[in-house]
Amino acid sequence: MKKNHSYGDGGIRPTNGEMVFYRINYLVMTILMIITLYPMLYVVFCSFSDPNEFAITKGLLLRPAGFSTLGYETVLSMKMIWLGYRNTLVYVFVGSSISMVLTIMAAFVLSRREFLVKKVVMWLVVFTMYFGGGMIPTYLVVSQMGLTKTVWGVMLPGCVSVYNTIVLRTSFNAVPATLEESARIDGAGDLRILINVVLPLSGAAIATISLFYIVGTWGAWYNALVYLQDKRELYPLQMFLREMLIEDKTTDVYLTAQGGKASNQHLIKEIVKYCIIIVSTLPILVVYPFIQKYFVKGVMVGALKE
Amino acid sequence: MTGTTNPAKGKRPSFFRRLKTDITRHKAVYVMLLIIMTYFILFCYWPMYGNIIAFQKYKPIKGILGSKFVGLENFRKFFSGYYCARLIRNTALISLYSLVFGFPIPIIFAILLNEVHNIRYKKLIQTITYLPHFISTMVICAIIIQFTNSYGFITAAVNALSGHSGALISDPACFRSIYVISGIWSSFGWNSILYIAAMSGINPDQYEAAIIDGANKFEQVLHVTLPGIRETIVIMLIMACGRIMSVGWEKAFLLQNELTYETSDIISTYVYRKGFIDSDYSFSSAVNMFNSLINLALLTIANTISRKVSESSLW
């Protein structure tokens, strides 16, 4: 450790006791990082492993057991992975856009300064956060509307997050009233004020909330499970993951159809599962470092009370 | 409506008159309001009305208006049934363990992280420990299952060390541990954000004053850091208590299997099974309604306490 390691702003040399503390603390932090990362690294190692060697390897892996891209070749040739990806991308783009439009409208309406029915509307919106219709009544309503087995059943129920609405409203409220008034004097209506004044000044909040919705839609599967039922061609990626990884169903069928050797089928299957995990998580891992800070901001804004 | 009893009678026009003027002046706002309210009525309030089937013997062909009312029969059936106690116990224990073991860890982590003064290293630690929060529940559960099934390395390690045999994920005795430990693993970093934010609001002068008074690291944490984040801790704790009967549905649903229902079946997964697998709509709705009411009551109590203790609350 460097000699001039300063403490805080004071620049006071740390005592011996403090040096010990700092060293232990760095060690603890490093261990925590390893604990967080290792399971994911392990998945990466497994995904590149050779099925036969992986089967006889016991304990922790520090690198792939043998090397093989057989798993990835199998995964990339699976139709349902591509289908799932395509559907998920549609749900992410269209679904998040719907969510954003509705959330912006709700936040704008609720951020109006003099709004006669504000209290009632606010109460009606917030109440849904704490009490809901429940699985079955919601299902019955959605099926009465004829949304089952359609993409709308996946995208519409639950597409407005009350939490996000309140976060965005907080940001809209921060737009100075004077700007709005001068725009009004210039003859701007409410819609123009929203588009030309409020939205441009809330860029950070809009970005944060879009990302909340995008990551949320990416990982969502409840609506698909309940409303799509057996309509497999509309399944998002997560539903196929459930079949292959959680229920452990389709990989068997698929691998047999591939005509692989029956003897090491279950070995290949394990490797394939690890590859599926990586292939389905890669997009998030790639963008994660860039979007992380927006999320942190979003959490903090949401925690602020009026 | 707020304005129907207008105190300034005579001076201001009536509520409805003012509303009418407002609507004509701000059509766009009211169109947006209409769209938003349509959404909330269709997807939130209509299902809420649909909760009536909990008091009925609901038949889809007859609809809500045509089905027979049975009063509290469905609730009685649930409370006297074999699964009631087990479901409440499982739900409560999972959150209780998550709370007892999972609550302090983000706080301790935040305190230790606050003592890392190398900014780049601190950022690295945060980036890595927040990461699991961004991975979908499905993938997290898939990883957990892969590690704890009969081929899994955690199963192998635990069995070698403890003499346990068989896959951990199919053992009812292990379910809660798997659920709670994996929950801590995937969320301790993310849950520390609010504490870290609260700490950054502490005035550095306070630390300096403490150092001049001869306080060592431990005493600084005890007398400066902890009081600085006390309010955040109290609110988070009270709110966590308010959510004790509302365990997240997805993770339990994905991790459980028939072998582990004894410990893994919670109210929400039971509601799903009764409703969608057994098609017992009324009974399922009754169980769900019981759970929702308990959650609402607990959260209201928690909120009231929070407002008394710390002057901050959800509503």
pLDDT in tens, A236-292: 999 999 998 988 876 555 555 555 555 567 778 888 999 999 999 998 888 888 888
Burial tier of B99 (Cβ tally within 10 Å: 0-12, 13-18, 19+): middle
Given this model, what pLDDT does residue A148 score? 94
Q: Residue B12 forms beta bridges with which residues?
A: B9
- Is residue B243 domain-resident? yes
Among the listed residues A261, B254, B259, B157, the one whose alpha carbon sits nearest the alpha carbon of residue A269: A261
Domain count, chain B: 2
- State how far the Cα of A76 lies from the Cα of A29, in Å rounded to an integer: 37
Token couple for A52: 């036969």
**B41/B81 same-domain check:** no
The tens digit of pLDDT for each residue in A192-233 reads: 999 999 999 988 889 889 988 999 999 999 999 999 988 999
Judged by CB atoms closer than 8 Å, whether chains meet at B146 and A300 is answered as no
Q: Give me the mean pLDDT over the A100-120 stretch.
A: 92
Q: Concatenated DSSP letters for A29-97?
A: HHHHHHHHHHHHHHHHHHHTS-HHHHHH--S--SS-SS---HHHHHHHT-HHHHHHHHHHHHIIIIIHH
Q: Are residues B274 and B247 in the same domain?
A: yes
Tokens of B236: 């988070």
Q: Which two tokens mark A304?
A: 């602020």
| Domain boundary pick from B71, B90, B111 | B71
pLDDT of residue B3: 44
A160 has a pLDDT exceeding 90: yes
Pair A48, A31: CB distance under 8 Å:
no
Q: Which domain holds residue B56?
A: 15-71
pLDDT of residue A6: 43
Mean pLDDT of chain A: 86
Residue B9 lies inside a defined structural domain of this protein: no
The mean predicted confidence, pLDDT, of chain B is 89
Residues B83 and B140 in one domain: yes
Pair (B84, B49) in one structural domain: no
Q: Percentage of chain A with pLDDT > 70? A: 89
Report pTM.
0.89
pLDDT at B307: 85
The verdict on B183 and B202 lying in the same domain is yes
Domain-located, residue B65: yes
A19 touches chain B (CB under 8 A): no
pLDDT of residue A262: 55
Residues B66 and B109 reside in one and the same domain: no
Give, as one character, the DSSP assignment of residue B59: -
Which secondary-structure segment (H or E) carries B94?
A: helix B83-102
Q: Chain B closest CA to A81's CA: distance in Å?
A: 14
pLDDT, one tens digit per residue, over B22-31 is 888 889 999 9
Q: In this model, does residue B278 exceed pLDDT 80?
A: yes
Residues 6+ apart with CB under 8 A from B63: none
State the complex-level ipTM. 0.88
Burial code of B46-83, b = ≥16 C-beta within 10 A, e = fewer?
bbbebbbbbbbebeeeeeeeebeebeebbbebbeeeee
Confidence at residue B136, expressed as pLDDT on a 0 to 100 scale: 93
Same domain for B79 and B185, yes or no, is yes
The answer to whether position B6 is within a domain reads no
pLDDT tens, position by position, A57-74 = 777 788 888 888 888 988
Q: Is residue B112 part of a domain?
A: yes
Does A62 touch chain B if contact means CB atoms closer than 8 Å?
Answer: no
Contact B129, A248 (CB under 8 A): no
Three-class secondary structure of residue A164 per DSSP: helix
DSSP A220-238: --HHIIIIITT-GGG--HH
Residue B3 lies in a domain: no
Q: Please report the DSSP string for A261-272 in residue order.
A: -GGGHHHHHHHH
| A–B CB contacts, 8 A cutoff, strictly below | 248
Q: What number of other Cβ atoms are within 10 A of residue A232's Cβ?
A: 14
| Percentage of chain B modeled with pLDDT above 90 | 62
* Tens digits of residue pLDDT in B147-180: 998 888 899 889 989 888 889 999 999 999 999 9
Please provide residue B286's backbone torsions phi and psi, each rounded to the nearest 5 degrees: -65, -45
Task: Find the mean pLDDT for residues B82-111.
Answer: 94
**What are the structural domain ranges in chain A?**
16-69, 78-247
Check whether B110 has a pLDDT greater than 50.
yes
Final residue of a structural domain among B71, B96, B113: B71
What percent of chain B lies above the pLDDT cut of 70? 95
Contact B208 A35 (CB under 8 A): no
Min CA distance, A89 vs chain B (Å)? Answer: 15
Could you give the angle at the alpha carbon of A246 between the alpha carbons of A241 and A252, nearest 5°?
A: 80
A78-247 folds as MetI-like fold (1.10.3720)
Nearest by CB: A158 against B43, B45, B146: B43
Radius of gyration in angstroms for the set of CA atoms belonging to chain A, rounded to a whole number: 26
What are the tokens at B294?
Answer: 């308990």
